[in-house]
Amino acid sequence: MSKDKNTFNRVLVGVDDSADAQLAFRYAMRRCIKDDSTMIITSILENDEMNVYQALTKDYVHGERKELEEHIKEYRQVALDAGVKRVEMFVAEGDPGETIVKEVVPATEADLLVIGSLSKKGIRKYFGSQAAYMAKYSPISIMIVR
Burial 28-54 (b: 16+ CB within 10 A, else e): bbebbeebebbbbbbbbbbeeeeeeee
For residue 11, the model assigns a pLDDT of 98
Are 71 and 25 in contact by the 8 Å Cβ rule? The answer is no
Helices 19-35 and 58-82: angle between axes, nearest 10 degrees: 50
> Mean pLDDT over residues 111-121, rounded?
83
Helix (H) or strand (E) holding 86: strand 86-93
Share of the chain above pLDDT 70, in %: 79
Domains defined along the chain, listed by start: 10-145 (3.40.50.620)
* pLDDT tens column, 41-92: 999 988 665 666 665 666 766 678 899 999 999 999 999 999 999 999 999 9
The whole-angstrom separation of Cα 51 and Cα 77 is: 32
